[in-house]
């Protein structure tokens, strides 16, 4: 694969980067393994000095990091700054809490004494996507470095400058050589990294296809893995929802990051009593968004991450319509330079339509009208994905019951606010397995060792 920065707002090439040679890759893996031998012996307080310093640098240089992200993948500048801040919060969170999360847990066996203790497993290989160029990196680096592991990261080919900037961040924070290593490598080289016996764990955030490939390879090598894959999250609107509040979240949930978010609201499932009003207001709010330079604070519609992403999404919408879906609005590219797409709503999507099961990674909303709450839940669960979802109702107790019945890794009541370092993030079904963030995120790649003492003679 090639590593190149193309500004999706203009289509102009910014910079190209060469892939590592096999010899260079070997040196980096060896350096990481050497680093682990000493890093694992550091106290939590010693590790926290570097991780907290990295968080502080992110905050100090937030504008610089955000600017690079906006140029490279088109994220609107205000959202880019928010991502840098969230990334800093994640690093600071684990610097503060890792020791508590991994403290020995006392057990109470019927005889003697026992406890569980946690220890790092070694070099962890992380494969990360372009849609959140720093956040995805922070949520593997923060917990796994504080646990005593070291990380090798293969970032997406379209955000090499972000990948390099994040590696430089750790060097500036005082990290020893090999603690955090960016790898500009090919898919074949990536496969060989997974196979390498020095790699002890594998984490991936990406597509279902990538997850199946990497998880299978990790499994063949008997290595633990975590997979955060795609989603087609349901946005359930019950008849008693506060419509104004719901519409604001509907627009944010579908259009944040130009819709390029795994846990974005993608399937809008609205009870019939409120469906017409919801659709009218939703359409009006989406129509008000205006394409512009993502570096301009006033821009409300940014580009997709690449020209290929735009072409793929346009083709997907055309396919949905050719199979019977109705195009309510949008469906075309915006008439301006760059990879911009009109906000789009599709409805009348039948189960036999491929669109019914696909993930639309961009500004495309699928609208479904249902009779009642039970039908809404059944439709929400009729998906190959199970990452997140939300339900909107004035009755919080009712919303909680609905949330419990929807088969996903995460559910939100009257919001889609997943951006908290304390909240475990992950899904089920084709959305993957394992959890990142929260106290669960740091447990993925540690050895949970039982230690027991019993004052007794061995049985004969």
Looking at the DSSP bridge assignments, the partners of residue 392 are: 237
* Tokens found for residue 121: 């497993």
- Give the 3-state secondary structure of residue 391: strand
Is the separation of the CB atoms in 289 and 71 below 8 Å? no
Among the listed residues 35, 126, 162, 262, the single catalytic one is 262
Distance of alpha carbon 455 from alpha carbon 443, whole angstroms: 31
State residue 376 phi and psi, 5-degree precision: -65, -45
* Residue 425 DSSP code: B
Distance of alpha carbon 152 from alpha carbon 183, whole angstroms: 7
Centre a 10 Å sphere on the Cβ of residue 16 and count the other Cβ atoms it contains: 11
Centre a 10 Å sphere on the Cβ of residue 323 and count the other Cβ atoms it contains: 14
Distance of alpha carbon 159 from alpha carbon 163, whole angstroms: 6
* Residue 226 DSSP code: E
Among the listed residues 79, 228, 342, 436, the single catalytic one is 228
Distance of alpha carbon 121 from alpha carbon 36, whole angstroms: 9
228 annotated active-site: yes
Tokens 């898919």 sit on residue: 187
Helices within 323-450 (DSSP H only): 373-381, 396-405, 438-441
262 annotated active-site: yes
Residues recognised as catalytic: 228, 262
């Amino acid at each position: 694969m090639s590593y190149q920065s193309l500004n999706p707002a203009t289509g102009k090439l910014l910079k190209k980067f060469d892939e590592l040679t096999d010899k260079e890759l070997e040196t980096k893996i060896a350096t990481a393994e050497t680093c682990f031998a000493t890093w694992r012996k550091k106290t939590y307080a010693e590790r926290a000095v570097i991780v907290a310093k990295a968080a502080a640098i992110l905050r100090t240089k937030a504008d610089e990091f955000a600017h690079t992200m906006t140029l490279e993948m088109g994220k609107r500048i205000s959202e880019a700054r928010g991502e840098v801040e969230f990334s800093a919060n994640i690093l600071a969170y684990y610097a503060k809490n890792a020791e508590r999360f991994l403290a020995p847990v006392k057990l109470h066996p019927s005889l003697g004494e026992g406890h569980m203790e946690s220890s790092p497993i070694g070099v962890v290989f992380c494969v990360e996507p372009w849609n959140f160029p720093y956040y995805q990196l922070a949520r593997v680096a923060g917990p796994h470095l504080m646990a005593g592991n070291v990380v090798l990261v293969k970032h997406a080919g379209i955000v090499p400058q972000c990948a390099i900037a994040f590696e430089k961040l750790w060097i500036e924070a005082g990290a020893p050589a090999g603690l955090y290593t960016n790898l500009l490598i090919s898919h074949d080289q990536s496969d060989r990294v997974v196979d390498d016996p020095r790699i002890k764990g594998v984490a991936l955030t990406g597509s279902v296809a990538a997850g199946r490939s990497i998880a299978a390879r990790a499994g063949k090598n008997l290595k633990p893995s975590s997979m955060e894959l795609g989603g087609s999250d349901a946005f359930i609107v019950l008849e008693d929802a506060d419509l104004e509040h719901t519409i604001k979240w509907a627009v944010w949930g579908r259009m944040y990051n130009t819709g390029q978010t795994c846990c974005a609201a993608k399937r809008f499932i609205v009870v019939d009593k409120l469906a017409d009003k919801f659709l009218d207001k939703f359409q009006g709010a989406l129509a008000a968004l205006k394409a512009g330079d993502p570096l301009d604070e006033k821009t409300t519609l940014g580009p997709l991450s690449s020209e290929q992403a735009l072409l793929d999404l346009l083709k997907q919408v055309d396919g949905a319509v050719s199979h019977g879906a109705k195009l309510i609005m949008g469906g075309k590219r915006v008439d301006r330079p760059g990879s911009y797409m009109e906000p789009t709503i599709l409805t009348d999507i039948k189960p036999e339509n491929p669109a019914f099961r696909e993930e639309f990674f961009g500004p495309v909303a699928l609208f479904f009208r249902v009779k009642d709450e039970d039908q809404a839940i059944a439709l929400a669960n009729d998906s190959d994905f199970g990452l997140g979802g939300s339900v909107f109702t004035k009755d919080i107790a009712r919303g909680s019951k609905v949330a419990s019945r929807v088969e996903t890794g995460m559910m939100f009541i009257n919001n889609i606010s997943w951006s908290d370092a304390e909240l475990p993030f992950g899904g089920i079904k084709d959305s993957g397995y394992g959890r990142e963030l929260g106290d669960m995120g740091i447990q993925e790649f540690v050895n949970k060792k039982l230690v027991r003492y019993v004052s007794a003679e061995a049985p004969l």
